[in-house]
Chains A and B, each alone.
Chain A
Amino acid sequence: MRDSFIRALTELAGEDPRTMLVNGDLGFSVLDDFRARFPGNYVNAGVAEQNMTAVACGMALAGARSYTYSIANFPTLRCLEQLRNDVCYHRADVTVVAVGGGFSYGQLGMSHFATEDLAILRALPEMVVVAPSDPWQAYALTRQLHARGGPAYLRLDKAQAGLPEGEVVLGQVRTVRDGADAVIFAVGGILGEALAAAEMLAEDGVSVRVVDVHTLKPFDAEGVCAAARACSYVLTLEEHSVIGGLGGAVAEACLEGGVAVRGFTRVGLDDLYPSEVGDQQYLRAHYGVDRHAVAIRLRTMMGLDTLVPSRHRKISSSVEPLAAGEERTV
């Protein structure tokens, strides 16, 4: 996805000289071509994300079309107030690009997990929030974001859904698998796990629709409500905290849209800090956000399963506070 974004941005720099990439000292080797071809459209702000964001904002206010680039939480949470007060309040044309959504940087540890970014960025007025599910989407949505203009947040995952190239429209959900018994809404590359879970459930005779919610804001409430209304059982899947992200957005849309679902389940990271070491897929499985967890949670919600492995039963509200010195076991 990262390479697809850079390919789109390189094209955009050629087409629109106002394009400006303000880098946070990351992207070894992958930005070489961009820098070589467009040296005047590139600046490395160093390891200083507050200033990276402020500079990108100042450049945008003076006529540039700015992109900031870094990994995981560095271009978002580290400089959240610059995004809020400077970029969003001034509607500055800044697109924040984070590589490494969710557990993309698996073994690097919790500092490098973007697992609250969607909720936090979604709360900022003016901010568009996009998380493509495949490289071709990252390319297409980068171009659409440029046409629209910032403020925007583009979250790029390492994992990808693996779907063939198709049509994607900023702000409109995509139905990627038809089904009538239940619907899974997914955001980002983890859409692939939703599709795998739907395939597993199909073998049991359960027809599951899968909907790609690549744009969390502006949120396609109409598209979400239509799918939820048609399928009765709703499950949301995100490589992100269960608080405030896709699950929250879908729940809000359904309730406000008057959609009376028969069941609703959020699959995501529980309200805890992941400390387990492993790669992205390992961590997904460990924290109950992979295809197996989705299948089990959906079957349980639909009353098809009675036996549920304990680690998949826990929801955030049931997490007990830890005593001093105690460690969480999952």
Chain B
Amino acid sequence: MNALSNAWFDTEDLALRLRRHVVRMCASGKSSHVGSGLSMADIVAVLYGEVMRLAPADPRWPGRDHFILSKGHAGACVYAALAERGFMPVETLDTHYRNGSVLSGHVNHKGVPGVELSTGSLGHGLGVGAGMAMQLRRAGGTQRVYVVLSDGECDEGSNWEAILFAAHHRLSNLCAVVDYNKLQSLASVENTIGLEPFADKWRAFGWSVAEIDGHDHGALKRAFAEAATGDRPTCVLAHTVKGRGVSFMENQVLWHYRAPAGEEFVAALRELGVADA
């Protein structure tokens, strides 16, 4: 493995590790958004484990691909990926939510090597990602920019400003990934502000769209490979299950908020292959 190139992790194994970290971090920190982290664990594992060019020993390496978590509330999953990739010790994850920690609930760049953008207020990441993509292209680089959004986040008008902009400027080095788990803060997306026909909206705005199963690593890898060869920005519309991997958390709005405790914590980790939590 070259420190300044792609790492070829077993992404399925990495995704499982990320899910265990997310459950542990949300339990120990008594924090919300466990379902959001589990939902996108496969997307993050494929990006951090295989697709993105990263240099954990040199987080600001100019040749790196850029990752932005626009759905900042799922920060635990990204912290876990950074730790697994060696940007920080895995033990640091234990400090999530603690007084004096650098690991806030919403993803934070201060004190956390590898985080490009702090987010938390929704609808910020794609525009900043578009700016990064434009500047990287302007400087003649081949780096790519990946922005992971939630579905509920697409209610924010600022995203659609960025979607227009990126298409107009054919920012082919920009890839948006929507973690389309169909649940937002209080209810289903469909019963809140419906997004369908969602893929058509992106296409109509001038983006390439890859509509895939967001838990299928092969499909994710093919989509990212194809996105890298296109002449326009790509939206990977990743159909996912909120809470994926822990049966009683799947498709439940409750687990947008609830932190697993006691029996729930033990049962969740058992489902993720940890016999004695």
Contact = CB atoms under 8 A, between A and B. Distances in A.
Interface centre among B116, B119, B120, B165 (most CB of A within 10 A): B165
A263 interface: no
Contacts of A48: 161, 164-165
B135 A58 contact: yes
B211 to A, nearest CB: 25
B233 to A, nearest CB: 13
A248 interface: no
Contact of B162 (A20, A51, A56): A51
A55 B171 CA distance: 12
A55 B127 contact: yes
B164 to A, nearest CB: 7
A315 B119 CA distance: 41
A53 B135 CA distance: 14
Nearest to B169: A43
Interface residues of B, number: 31
Nearest to A41: B138
B47 interface: no
A53 B158 CA distance: 11
A57 to B, nearest CB: 5
Contact of A55 (B66, B109, B165): B165
B135 A82 contact: no
A46 B165 contact: yes
A59 B127 contact: no
B131 A58 contact: yes
B161 A51 contact: yes
A22 B169 CA distance: 13
Per DSSP, chain A at the interface is: helix
B118 A56 contact: no
Contacts of B127: 50-51, 53-55, 57-58, 82
A54 B120 contact: no
Contacts of A53: 127
A45 interface: yes
B161 A50 contact: yes
Interface size class for chain A?
20 to 34
A168 interface: no
Interface string B127-171: 111111111101100000000000000000110011011001100
Given A54-B158, A58-B127, A86 B117 contact: yes
B239 interface: no
Given A54-B130, A55-B134, A63 B118 contact: no
Nearest to B165: A51
A277 B116 CA distance: 47
Interface string A89-102: 11000000000000
B86 to A, nearest CB: 23
B192 interface: no
Given A85-B118, A85-B120, A57 B131 contact: yes
B121 interface: yes
A89 B121 CA distance: 13
B124 interface: yes
B105 to A, nearest CB: 15
Interface centre among B66, B109, B131 (most CB of A within 10 A): B131
A256 B209 CA distance: 58
Contacts of A62: 66, 131-132, 135-136, 139
Contact of B130 (A40, A51, A60): A51
A200 interface: no
20 contacts: A45-B165, A46-B161, A50-B158, A51-B158, A53-B127, A54-B127, A54-B128, A57-B131, A59-B131, A59-B138, A61-B131, A62-B66, A62-B136, A62-B139, A81-B121, A85-B118, A85-B124, A86-B117, A89-B118, A90-B109
Interface of B: 66, 109, 116-121, 123-124, 126-136, 138-139, 157-158, 161-162, 164-165, 168-169
- Closest CB pairs A-B (n = 7): A58-B131, A54-B127, A51-B161, A55-B131, A62-B135, A48-B161, A58-B128
Given A46-B161, A58-B133, A81-B121, 16 more contacts: A48-B161, A48-B164, A54-B131, A55-B127, A55-B130, A55-B134, A56-B131, A57-B127, A58-B131, A59-B132, A61-B117, A61-B132, A63-B135, A64-B135, A90-B109, A90-B117
